[in-house]
Structure 1
Amino acid sequence: MATNGADQQNQAGRHQEVGHKSLLQSDALYQYILETSVYPREPESMKELREVTAKHPWNIMTTSADEGQFLNMLLKLINAKNTMEIGVFTGYSLLATALAIPDDGKILAMDINRENYDLGRPIIEKAGVAHKIDFREGPALPVLDQLVEDEKNHGSYDFIFVDADKDNYINYHKRLIDLVKVGGLIGYDNTLWNGSVVAPPDAPLRKYVRYYRDFVLELNKALAADPRIEICMLPVGDGITLCRRIK
């Protein structure tokens, strides 16, 4: 059915960023999920870190509370022990992971900005899980290249979560597929990218959303065609695609 100019303008407007990271059309429904399912079960340390992060000028970068809950349960379901996180920010998803894995579990966490991580680190330490985290400041690709060079690292990770620079997602995937074990999971965050993946070309998107959209679209296409993985794209948070390595 054809649409007129007003309809197209309304459609484009719906693709602008919303105040939260959910893609649900109803703010009230998203709030219901938070208040009914997420907040009553959110660990006190995660609540504290979420509230501290909310005051940060870049708070839009944080993992949403519903996605944090999802990751925490997912890691328990797959009995993850050796994990990796690329893109940490203040550490909300990192804390969700640290609380989920066993006491002798490990997380290799990488981010170009230690200052943001240091904001959440006291809360992570108070939660008693800081010993599980090996934080590396700087770009992730050189670290990944070093890991790939040593074959003992191949297939050694149970779970890897990627929430960093979208223009490098493809480059990350080329390396991570060797590092995650067969049967293990890689989670790519923001794969629906504010809904912009279906926005019309003339949609009034913010500059950074428009810039990274093509990289997200490229990743989604590549993951769908990769025979080494099974995939599941979920509308949790800003979209997360789970990749289960099968060979």
Structure 2
Amino acid sequence: MSAIERAPAPVNKFDRYPAVEWAAQGRPEVGGNVWSSVSIANVTGLTFDRVECKFITDFMLKGKREAEVRLAAFRHDGNANRTIVSASRVLNLHGATERYVGVGLMRWVHGIPFGWDYEENNTTYTIELQHRYRVGPESYDSDAHTTDVFAFYKPTDKAAPSTGGALQIPGTSWDTMVLPQSRPNVSGGWVTIPRIVGDQEQYGSYSISAMQYCVGLPKERIPEASAAGWAWTRNLESSWGRAADITEPHFGV
């Protein structure tokens, strides 16, 4: 008891909301470019109405692969139904002219009313970092990430030629080769394919991490937080876009 009584009072009081990644990191356009959650934090029983989260980005290139992100709150009931409650305004992530690891920090008043559903023990609430493409994705960054292969090719939905024998095409330009009638649906020429070098840069896809943390803090700690949202970025050009709109389509999983 003596040790407990002499224990110092905690200086920092806040709610920790462990965040988990909900989607793979390298992602091209998803589901018609609707809002997709990259991270989810269970905030059931939260104390504060102001939250802060941090995330990182990679391969976000200005004018090629730009993203929109927002924070959104969802209500989950016992029947696996998920309903959006509120959202911040849209933050445009423009990236940079070359590859950098960018850092983003968002502060937001979540809009979940105090006293919600306390008698309902099957209801939970989450705050989620959502994203979608703003510009892009492009197929390849540049010719430096592709390879030209001379090949015979055909549309996938067309039948292959049934006649046998060697391919003999005398007097045909290699750049504009077209096979005779005995080889219908088949042509020949240079085909461009991505260069497989084990590097995400060739695929035209940005990466955005799960929230490194999601915490609830008092007004004294984050006075900038608002219902519209506040943000700070490093190595990552950004600007505010549209106002919050919870009617925009999103994955309902």
Under a length normalisation based on structure 2, what TM-score does the superposition of the two structures give? 0.21
Q: Which has the higher contact order (CA 8 A, sep 6+)?
A: 2
Return the structure number with greater helix share.
1
Structure showing greater radius of gyration is 2
Under a length normalisation based on structure 1, what TM-score does the superposition of the two structures give? 0.22
Return the structure number with greater strand share.
2
